[in-house]
């Protein structure tokens, strides 16, 4: 099914690519199509995009399900793989589309994409499109935090303090909250609740 999907994706990619090269028309990807027409075209592809009202404007900045994005993801680009996963990972996603999202998050995370790792933590924790596994969730959360993902570091700190998925360890909890505190208001607030003054932040210079 994946090979068949790629053949169709490549065909549409060629057509859209030809329109891009040979036309200066206004419209999505320079094809002269409106957003509605473009997404109607892409919805006929395998795999289909998940569509959310009002999402298109922001997504266009991210190559939302474009032929070039699909090509880069299949070629192994971890950022494109993450972006393609996001295309599937919407509120309106079907179980099959959730599974496709999980696949691309995993492909991206295996190459070191820390945000994809953080998303895998959530999927494994709640058993969304993957077998529910707190252990696997914590593995990906740790990896993401170690690579500097602020959200992951904050959540990891909270889980150490609560002893959820890991052995309770206040010292480790405070360490990860401190790691996250430079750009995470939630981590700074949590440290204060523990009677600890957060370190100075370049993102919140007035929050001393």
pLDDT of 37: 58
The reply to whether 57 and 134 lie within a common domain is yes
- φ and ψ of 54, to 5 deg: 85, 0
Domain assignment present for residue 163? The answer is yes
Is residue 122 in some structural domain? yes
Residues 74 and 87 in one domain: yes
Q: Is the dihedral of CA 181, 185, 190, 192 positive or negative?
A: positive
Which secondary-structure segment (H or E) carries 137?
helix 134-146
Instruction: Identify the pLDDT of residue 59.
Output: 43
Find tokens 């065909």 and name the residue.
Answer: 11
For the packed helices 170-180 and 185-193, what is the interaxial angle rounded to 10 degrees? 140
Residues 63 and 165 reside in one and the same domain: no
Q: Which of 105, 128, 147 is the last residue of a domain?
A: 147
The predicted model gives 170-188 an average pLDDT of 95
* pLDDT score, position 86: 87
Q: Among 160, 154, 155, 199, which residue's Cα sits nearest to residue 180?
A: 154
Helix %, strand %, coil % of the chain (to 5):
65, 0, 35
| Predicted pLDDT at 98 | 87
Same domain membership, residue 164 and residue 141: no
Residue 101 in domain: yes
208 in a structural domain: no
pLDDT tens per residue across span 50-103: 444 334 434 444 567 777 888 888 899 999 999 889 888 877 778 888 888 899
Cβ burial of 9 (10 Å; 0-12, 13-18, 19+) is buried
Regarding whether 169 and 99 lie in a shared domain, the answer is no
- Mean pLDDT within 159-168: 97
Q: What is the mean pLDDT of residues 135-140?
A: 97
Q: What is the pLDDT of residue 131?
A: 94
Q: Note the pTM of the prediction, 2 decimals.
A: 0.72
Q: What is the pLDDT of residues 88-120, one digit of tens each?
A: 887 777 888 888 889 999 999 999 999 999 999
| 95 within domain boundaries | yes
Are residues 139 and 157 located together in one domain of the fold? no
Give yes or no for residue 146 having a pLDDT over 60.
yes
Using alpha carbons only, how large is the chain's radius of gyration in Å?
20
Q: Which pLDDT belongs to residue 32?
A: 59
**Residue 177 and residue 112 share a domain:** no
pLDDT on residue 206: 80
Q: Is 183 domain-assigned? A: yes
Whether 9 is covered by a domain: the verdict is yes
In angstroms, the CA 55 to CA 20 distance is: 23
- What is the token pair recorded at 29? 């990807």
Residues 47 and 137 in one domain: yes
**86 and 128, same domain (yes or no):** yes
Q: Domain check: are 114 and 157 in the same one?
A: no
Number of domains in the chain: 2
Q: Which domain holds residue 107?
A: 2-147
Q: What is the pLDDT of residue 78?
A: 96
């Amino acid at each position: 099914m994946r090979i068949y999907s790629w053949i169709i994706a490549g065909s549409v990619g060629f057509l859209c690519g030809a329109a891009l090269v040979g036309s200066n028309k206004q419209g999505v990807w320079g094809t002269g199509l409106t957003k509605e027409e473009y997404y109607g075209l892409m919805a006929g592809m395998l795999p289909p995009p998940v569509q959310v009202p009002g999402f298109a404007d922001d997504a266009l900045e991210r190559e939302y399900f474009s032929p070039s994005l699909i090509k880069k993801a299949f070629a192994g680009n971890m950022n494109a793989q993450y972006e393609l996963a996001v295309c599937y990972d919407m509120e309106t996603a079907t179980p099959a589309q959730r599974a496709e999202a999980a696949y691309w998050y995993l492909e991206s995370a295996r190459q070191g994409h820390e945000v994809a790792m953080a998303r895998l933590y959530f999927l494994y924790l709640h058993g969304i499109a993957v077998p529910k596994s707190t252990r696997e969730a914590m593995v990906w959360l740790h990896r993401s935090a170690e690579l500097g993902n602020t959200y992951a570091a904050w959540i990891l700190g909270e889980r150490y303090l609560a002893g959820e998925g890991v052995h309770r360890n206040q010292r480790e909890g405070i360490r990860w909250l401190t790691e996250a505190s430079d750009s995470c208001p939630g981590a700074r607030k949590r440290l204060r609740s523990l009677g600890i003054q957060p370190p100075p932040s370049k993102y919140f210079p007035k929050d001393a």
